[in-house]
Structure 1
Amino acid sequence: MGFWWRPFSVLASVLLVALILWAASGWIAALGFLAGIQAFVMLRRLWQEFRLARWLENPDEVDPPDATGTWGDIFYRLQKLQRRQRASRSELSTALEQFEHAAQAVPDGMVILNGNEQIEWCNPASRKYMGLDCERDRGQFIRYLMRQAHFLEFLDAADFSRRLVCKSPVNREVVLSVQLVPFGVGKKLLIARDITDLERVDAMRRDFIANVSHELRTPLTVVGGFVETLADAPDLPAAESRRYFDLMLDHTRRMQRLLDDLLTLSRLESADHGLQDESVNVPELAQALKAEGESLSRGRHRVHLQLASSAWLKGSLQEIRSALGNLVSNAVRYTPDGGEITLAWNERDGEGVFSVTDTGEGIAAEHIPRLTERFYRVDRSRSRETGGTGLGLAIVKHVLTRHGGRLDIQSTPGRGSTFSAIFPTQRVQRAPDEGTVIPFPERGQAAG
């Protein structure tokens, strides 16, 4: 009724005036008055329609015209609708802008494809993983830009529950997990995620299980075979029995060392095992490690010690001794008879550096980044001959990481290697008063 009351009241007023004129001046005057009012209404309506049409030609830049009466109500409602649309458009624009910023910040490669598999939009990460450029490749068919057979089969399948694991066409060392997701009406969202680290960890897990199984199978087979031999031939000569028992003991100790190292790694990797700091007398520890190296060498090598610093370390004595002891034992195992092994303790740019240098065969550069992986060996046969478990450098890496340090490896094939355990400045301490004695655990305890 708010719309109808005004025109009805105006019509009633006009009719009342016409009746008054009819009564006062006759029907001709009344008819002329009505005709004039009708002409005015028609002209006013045409004018307002013209103004409305002109506004509709460019509604975003011009506000609706002003008027009174019924047209004023119409223009007011149009103006409210225009303001509401502008607010909605502004909110939508802000939301789209935020979505675009978020999509550009996402580390995964994202590509929007239309129904014809043409690229409508892609984020910067898609360049890194798939070599796509949003400006250059907009409107291009994704099949023309990524032509790997397995990727094309993946697109043809259009299975949204399936993931494709493949190499990046830009960097063959990067492994991608690619997935298609429905997006809007008739569109698809292509997502490429870098899973290189996950694949590497999974490969290490598989290698770990295979290596542990292999390392335990050989000594168990040897021990089991000797036990069966002894059981079937109880009258063996004492010398031969002694040799069998010595071999069984050797392989049993090998399995024990392997299990000890596995337990040490498990303990170091446990999040519940905190680091208990104590003062470690490194010069005295270095002297003890030199003696252990000489004992393990049994006179086959010349072992030297260079103490260029009297500084101590703050950390776990047991863990530090285990890590440095592994560096020394590795040098003894992999240095040919007659070679030299040098232990050194010094400070460099405020950091504590314990290095072990040998004159062994050296290590090729391609092997160095993987030396701290569990069971990774440059020469597997030589490792078994020397009795190594393949876990020593993994233990060294974990101990140094827990102490905020790092392991530096420098090696030249045919000339030898230098393994340096570098401790950060905050771990280095000045030597306390002379006479302070740091008790060292037994070798078996240090390894565990």
Structure 2
Amino acid sequence: MAAVTLFAVPVALLVSPLVGAIVAAIGVLLILVRHNLYLTQLVQWTHEPIGTPLPHAFGVWDFVFSDLNRRSRQASEARERLSAALDRFREASQAMPDGVMYLSHTGTIEWMNYQASIDFSLDEERDRGAQVTNLVRQPDFVHYLDKGHYDEPFLFHPIHRKGAALLVQVIRFGDHRKMVISRDVSHIEKLETMRRDFVANVSHELRTPLTVVGGFLETVIDAEDDLDLADRNHYLGLALEQSGRMRRLINDLLTLSALETGAPQPAEELFDVGGIVREIGRETEALSGGRHTVVVEVDCDCKCQGSPKELHSAFANLASNAVRYTPDGGTVTLSWQLGKNGVGKYCVRDTGIGIAPEHIPRLTERFYRVDRGRSRETGGTGLGLAIVKHVLTRHQCEMKISSRLGQGSEFCVIVPAARIVSCDRPS
């Protein structure tokens, strides 16, 4: 349009100066209208959503719009890259096993991941922008945030999660902002508690027989001239019995330690599990000494893959427990059978005193006893079922326990079909 105006004005001047002036004025007006139109389109474009392309133009405005389009695309690409990076960061933060929460300089929640919402019982959306100490009001947590000394982490026990323990660490960053990191250490604290209990139990279990042995020996030494041979042998026999108890306890501790620390498993071999059950039946009769009726039921003779020594020990432990906790005249039944799905099942049933339901889940814990006094009377160390549990775990076996007070108990070992190689049912 500018070129047309420049060409029309000289022509009009040749015709008449007045016409030339009018043509020039119209040309300038048209140029201003066009510039105003493009400027209006530019202003309207600034109100459109980000990413909307600029309209087409002519002349110098075409260069302006092209440059703005290029800068707009570059800015849009940069925003997309930043948005993608932010999404990746949020995904990574959500995937972290630790809780992460960002606090503003005033202590309000700016962002948290899913684990932090669980650790502190918060809602990711609802609680954003709220003061964290208004939501987590436990005095020890509030004091830790307020004191401002974050060199050492803080062990926090949230009241809404019974038995849970969190290791909380605050890290300052940016403009007086804080990053709160929480790590669930409940299992570590539980292990530490178990370690303390284990040491205390071992000390107690060894101290009692040592005290008895020491007392008997002192009695024999101090009353050397006053004791006849029968009394002396009686005291020495009791001391020997207590030393045997300590020996069994130490042997069980060594066995349990080897199992728990992942000691190499003995070489596996094929063995006759039915034969082992019959052998344990004979050992059980000898242990009972005729005080119980021992029944052995072998449904089939199976070849099993595993450690015969370890499984014999585990199976025999269940049988000896049945003898210990069954009154004289009771019945102890050992059975081996093969299910239709090829799974083996070894069970020990007794007509003993039974176990209350609340004790059954804890029977395989170290030193856990339903009746401590009776366990010591029967010579138990409190480690037998813990050892059985680890042996069965090494062989991918499962133990099921059922019992009723006053009516007896049943301990069954489920042997997976993968370990049963072949079976011959007796004719």
Tell me the TM-score normalized by structure 1. 0.79
- The alpha carbon displacement at 1:275 in A equals 4.3
> CA contact under 8 A between 2:170 and 2:178: conserved in structure 1?
yes
Code of the aligned partner of 1:227: L
Structure 1 unaligned residues grouped into runs of 5+: 1-20, 22-31, 435-448
Structure 2 counterpart of 1:97, from 76, 87, 96: 87
- Say whether 1:198 aligns with 2:188: yes
* 3-state DSSP of counterpart to 2:364: coil
- The alpha carbon displacement at 1:173 in A equals 4.2
> CA contact under 8 A between 2:356 and 2:403: conserved in structure 1?
yes
Stretch of structure 1 that moved more, 174-183 or 97-106: 174-183
2: distance between equivalents of 1:223 and 1:197? 39
| Counterpart residue number, 2:207 | 217
| Counterpart residue number, 1:415 | 407
* 3-state DSSP of counterpart to 1:409: strand
Q: Which structure 2 residues correspond to residues 95-174 of structure 1 after superposition, within 5 A?
A: 95-160=85-150, 161-169=152-160, 171-174=161-164
> CA contact under 8 A between 1:287 and 1:305: conserved in structure 2?
yes
2: distance between equivalents of 1:290 and 1:129? 53
Code of the aligned partner of 1:265: L
In 2 relative to 1, CA 127–411 (structure 1 residues): closer, same or farther, beyond 3 Å?
Answer: farther
Stretch of structure 1 that moved more, 83-92 or 129-138: 129-138
| Aligned Cα root-mean-square deviation (Å) | 3.5
Give a deviation string over 1:106-160, Cα, whole Å, max 9, x none.
3444433333333333333345443322233333333333333333333333443
Tell me the TM-score normalized by structure 2. 0.83
| Counterpart residue number, 1:290 | 281
> CA contact under 8 A between 1:164 and 1:179: conserved in structure 2?
no
* 3-state DSSP of counterpart to 2:126: helix
- The alpha carbon displacement at 1:262 in A equals 1.4
Structure 2 counterpart of 1:268, from 233, 255, 259: 259
> CA contact under 8 A between 2:343 and 2:414: conserved in structure 1?
yes
> CA contact under 8 A between 2:397 and 2:416: conserved in structure 1?
yes
Count residues in correspondence. Answer: 410
1: distance between equivalents of 2:222 and 2:419? 59
Code of the aligned partner of 2:189: E
- The alpha carbon displacement at 1:344 in A equals 1.1
> CA contact under 8 A between 2:157 and 2:163: conserved in structure 1?
no
- The alpha carbon displacement at 1:192 in A equals 3.6
Give a deviation string over 1:45-84, Cα, whole Å, max 9, x none.
8777666555444482444577789877665554443333
In 2 relative to 1, CA 114–413 (structure 1 residues): closer, same or farther, beyond 3 Å?
Answer: farther
2: distance between equivalents of 1:407 and 1:178? 39
> CA contact under 8 A between 2:300 and 2:424: conserved in structure 1?
no
- Say whether 1:373 aligns with 2:394: no
Structure 2 unaligned residues grouped into runs of 5+: 1-9, 11-20
Code of the aligned partner of 1:122: M
Code of the aligned partner of 1:428: I
Code of the aligned partner of 2:128: R
